Amino acid sequence: MSSIDRDRVTAALTKRRGLVNDALTETLPIDHPEQLYAASRHLLDAGGKRLRPSVLLLVAEALTDTEPLSDEYRSFGPQGIDVMSAAVSVEIIQSFTLIHDDIMDDDDLRRGVPSVHEAYDLDTAILAGDTLYSKAFECMLDTDASASRSVRALKELATTCTEICEGQALDVAFERSEGITTTQYLEMIELKTAVLYAASASIPAILLGADDETVEALHQYGIDVGMAFQVQDDLLDLTVPSERLGKQRGSDLVEGKRTLITLHAKEQGIDIDELVATDSVESVTERDIEAAVETLEDAGSIEYARNTARDLITNGKNRLEVLPDCEAQSVLGEIADYLIERRY
Amino acid sequence: MSSIDRDRVTAALTKRRGLVNDALTETLPIDHPEQLYAASRHLLDAGGKRLRPSVLLLVAEALTDTEPLSDEYRSFGPQGIDVMSAAVSVEIIQSFTLIHDDIMDDDDLRRGVPSVHEAYDLDTAILAGDTLYSKAFECMLDTDASASRSVRALKELATTCTEICEGQALDVAFERSEGITTTQYLEMIELKTAVLYAASASIPAILLGADDETVEALHQYGIDVGMAFQVQDDLLDLTVPSERLGKQRGSDLVEGKRTLITLHAKEQGIDIDELVATDSVESVTERDIEAAVETLEDAGSIEYARNTARDLITNGKNRLEVLPDCEAQSVLGEIADYLIERRY
């Protein structure tokens, strides 16, 4: 039933992931002071899909209608732009936010390894995040783009970082507040999650000198797919068996975490705090979760979230019309589909 | 005996501090999400000497040989550069580092108010620091300088931030290590403290289009006075009465904090861990401190630190010869003297 060529998306992401990984190792050598740089690399070395840098590279390819997977990411297009340095920059920002978020969310595990504050300590985790933050700006200044394009890319990056902090602040605040609406939730995930996808899609266009309309459309593509990505994450927590999820299915429900699904249910008059009786992930049963999911299904909340994600992806894919019709462009469309069809 | 016109320095700093404070309020309105921005402003609102932004403004004045205290900081010099935005940027970086350092050092008080993680909480303090970090980059991108000068200023800022993190990492590591030398200590304070003074002095020169020799000399002025500033801080802890210091005199000694003075003494064969018997600031007596200071004096360690600070200041002042002979230039020289003559 899939509308996408899953093998092609996987192959495209796998190949670019390898190149991004090489570039990350090159950009962040374990320098003096060694513990600081080892801690900075800890999560990056633990893996990750490299979705954001891959989107950045694919947009660069689509804009220049270059054969994908050219070896020329370090001197790309007629002006010889180091788009890989920009790709590395957004991945480094992502890693910085994960390190600091794990502290705030008290998460001990990430990508199958201890989070940085667990593997090292709180001080080192704060500093590792801070170091990656400025390193990302250094990378974005290292693309060999003209000064005016560099300035514009830097502005996009700086604004994006401010917005990510605002989104994370809202997320933390929402955990402590009553009466959050689905609209507020969507605003939060736009800031917390989607703006970095938007930067990843628009920055290559800025660096390669695309016109404003193209830059703006790609920015919106990133917002749309980034928001859909987060809504899909919320859905996966409820719909994927615990074994495949790698954590208790429905843990968001048990822990009382607000999601688009529960907030919609609340707006339908459901008492979401009573959906699951226990608030301990250890003692909850599959039957408890099943009953809660059924209630959410009856309220139309799961369908609402699915439709929201699907509409975002449809909008996002339509934005890609600004790009030339080429393989990189179709892969970008398929990545959008992949984000809401993935099962983990 | 003072070689400086203390009243003139104080007046110059006071007037610029007022203007910087106004600009900070303008730059960081208490926006949505309000708690995040209130926390970001918390330490900035609590005061501070604004030494770094004042140095930045004075260098701009000296380079253009403008009458000091012109109202035109927002559109400065023939090219109409917003040097105030650059000044605000370095102060915001300073405030971000204080917020995160207070978490790492477990300091509950700063500038007479609770530190951000005390007044709010750990999560908010991490995020407030992160928000200021990107805001500082936004400000540095907002100076109306030509794109190529902006890129250079941004590179200076990004490198500076990475170095500050490296310095803080070394500082944390030194607390846990034996056998740190005075040379390693000086390297640490260069990174942790001096590079932000160097950025403050060199960035206005970059933005106003000064030649490389001038930029480099001003950078070195910042390194010299920044290092002297830190050494003087170490001296003040030993030589200023507790009432004036606002905390127990000699608390660095009691807490076993390594300073240039104790590391020098160690190199002279003194057992610095035995200098003060107690390791509690509450139970130490003035007599204990007095005896320890005497030992350090006999070892020549206090004189060594004084000479180090004095030599740095002499070097720093000599760097100012690249600037035109004007009032702003002499105030910059007097600020250097002031930093090691200040008594708190």
Partner-chain contact A33 B166, CB within 8 Å: yes
Indicate the SS3 state at residue A81: strand
Partner-chain contact A123 B133, CB within 8 Å: no
Which residues on chain B are in Cβ contact (under 8 Å) with A172? 123-124, 127
Contact of A144 with chain B, judged by CB distance below 8 Å, is answered with no
Contact of A222 with chain B, judged by CB distance below 8 Å, is answered with no
ipTM over 0.90: yes
Nearest in space to B275 (alpha carbons), one of B289, B257, B258:
B289
Contact of A169 with chain B, judged by CB distance below 8 Å, is answered with yes
pLDDT given for residue B1 in this prediction? 37
Query: Helices (H), strands (E): how many in chain B?
Result: 16, 2
More confident site: B252 or B103: B103
Partner-chain contact B126 A159, CB within 8 Å: no
Which residues on chain A are in Cβ contact (under 8 Å) with B103? 122-123, 126
Partner-chain contact B123 A104, CB within 8 Å: yes
Partner-chain contact B165 A131, CB within 8 Å: yes
More confident site: B69 or A241: A241
- β-partners of residue B113 are B110
Measured between CB atoms, which of A103, A154, A169 is closest to B35? A169
User: What mean pLDDT is reported for chain A?
Assistant: 93
What length is written for chain A? 344
Measured between CB atoms, which of B141, B168, B173 is closest to A151? B141
The span from the CA of B210 to the CA of A35, in Å, is: 38
Q: Is A341:A4 a contact under the CB 8 Å cutoff?
A: yes
Structure tokens at B73: 């900081």
Residue A320 pLDDT > 80, yes or no? yes
Q: What is the distance of C-alpha A93 from the center of its chain? A: 11
Contact of A33 with chain B, judged by CB distance below 8 Å, is answered with yes
User: Can you tell me which residue has the tokens 């003194």?
Assistant: B270
Structure tokens at B341: 């003559």
For β-strands A109-110 and B113-114, DSSP reports them as unpaired
The span from the CA of A31 to the CA of B185, in Å, is: 18
pLDDT band at B248 (very low <50, low <70, confident <90, very high): confident
Contact of A147 with chain B, judged by CB distance below 8 Å, is answered with yes
Partner-chain contact B151 A141, CB within 8 Å: yes
Measured between CB atoms, which of A32, A36, A104 is closest to B165? A36
Partner-chain contact B138 A162, CB within 8 Å: yes
The span from the CA of B233 to the CA of B194, in Å, is: 13
Measured between CB atoms, which of B32, B158, B170 is closest to A134? B158
pLDDT given for residue A274 in this prediction? 86
pLDDT given for residue A176 in this prediction? 81
Burial class (CB in 10 A: 0-12, 13-18, 19+), A209: middle
Domain B6-341 has CATH 1.10.600.10: yes
Question: How much is the average pLDDT of A232-260?
Answer: 85
Q: Is B336:B225 a contact under the CB 8 Å cutoff?
A: yes
pLDDT band at A275 (very low <50, low <70, confident <90, very high): confident
Nearest-Cα distance to chain B for A328, in Å, is: 31
Partner-chain contact A130 B133, CB within 8 Å: yes
Q: Angle at which helices B212-239 and B182-189 pack, to 10 degrees?
A: 120
**DSSP 8-state class, residue B321:** G
Domain borders along chain B are 6-341
Contact of A135 with chain B, judged by CB distance below 8 Å, is answered with yes
pLDDT band at A248 (very low <50, low <70, confident <90, very high): confident
Measured between CB atoms, which of B122, B137, B165 is closest to A130? B165
Could you please report the per-residue DSSP string of B1-24? --SS-HHHHHHHHHHHHHHHHHHH
Nearest in space to B27 (alpha carbons), one of B87, B88, B117:
B88
More confident site: A324 or A277: A324
Contact of B148 with chain A, judged by CB distance below 8 Å, is answered with yes
Partner-chain contact A138 B158, CB within 8 Å: yes
Single-letter amino acid code for the residue at B67: E
Partner-chain contact A158 B100, CB within 8 Å: no
Q: Is A128:A116 a contact under the CB 8 Å cutoff?
A: yes
Nearest in space to A116 (alpha carbons), one of A134, A128, A130, A132:
A128
Contact of B130 with chain A, judged by CB distance below 8 Å, is answered with yes
Q: Is B322:B213 a contact under the CB 8 Å cutoff?
A: yes
Residue A1 pLDDT > 60, yes or no? no
Nearest in space to B163 (alpha carbons), one of A123, A130, A140:
A130
Q: Is A254:A281 a contact under the CB 8 Å cutoff?
A: yes
Nearest-Cα distance to chain B for A17, in Å, is: 26
Nearest-Cα distance to chain B for A84, in Å, is: 18
The span from the CA of B117 to the CA of B103, in Å, is: 7
Nearest in space to B344 (alpha carbons), one of B220, B188, B239:
B239
Contact of B127 with chain A, judged by CB distance below 8 Å, is answered with yes
Q: How many A-B residue pairs are in contact by the CB < 8 A criterion?
A: 130
Q: Is A225:A189 a contact under the CB 8 Å cutoff?
A: no
For β-strands B109-110 and A113-114, DSSP reports them as unpaired
Contact of A62 with chain B, judged by CB distance below 8 Å, is answered with no
Percentage of residues of chain B with pLDDT beyond 90: 77
Q: From the candidates B32, B101, B123, B188, which should be mutated to test the interface with A, based on the most A CB atoms within 10 A?
A: B123
pLDDT of B176-230, one tens digit each?
888 899 999 999 999 999 999 999 999 999 999 999 999 999 999 999 999 999 9
Partner-chain contact B162 A135, CB within 8 Å: yes
Contact of B187 with chain A, judged by CB distance below 8 Å, is answered with no
The span from the CA of A300 to the CA of A67, in Å, is: 44
Percentage of residues of chain A with pLDDT beyond 90: 77
Partner-chain contact B137 A161, CB within 8 Å: yes
Residue B3 pLDDT > 70, yes or no? no
Nearest in space to B24 (alpha carbons), one of B7, B47, B6:
B47
Q: From the candidates A100, A103, A104, A162, which should be mutated to test the interface with B, based on the most B CB atoms within 10 A?
A: A162
How far, in Å, are A18, A201, A326, B41, B166 from residue A12 at the CA level? 10, 16, 14, 45, 37
Contact of A119 with chain B, judged by CB distance below 8 Å, is answered with no
pLDDT of A16-68, one tens digit each?
999 999 999 999 999 999 999 999 999 999 999 999 999 999 999 999 988 77
The radius of gyration of chain B from alpha carbons, rounded to an integer in Å, stands at: 20
Calculated CA dihedral for residues B267, B269, B275, B278, nearest 10 degrees: 90
pLDDT of A209-220, one tens digit each?
999 999 999 999
Partner-chain contact B127 A103, CB within 8 Å: no
**Contacts with A131 (C-beta within 8 Å, 6 or more apart), sequence order:** A36, A37, A40, B162, B165, B166, B169
Contact of A172 with chain B, judged by CB distance below 8 Å, is answered with yes
**Contacts with B293 (C-beta within 8 Å, 6 or more apart), sequence order:** B238, B239, B250, B302
Residue B274 pLDDT > 70, yes or no? yes
User: Can you tell me which residue has the tokens 């704060």?
Assistant: A126
Give the residue ranges of DSSP H helices in B208-240: 212-239
Which residues on chain B are in Cβ contact (under 8 Å) with A141? 151, 154-155, 158
Strand ranges in B109-215 using DSSP code E only, listed in sequence order = 109-110, 113-114
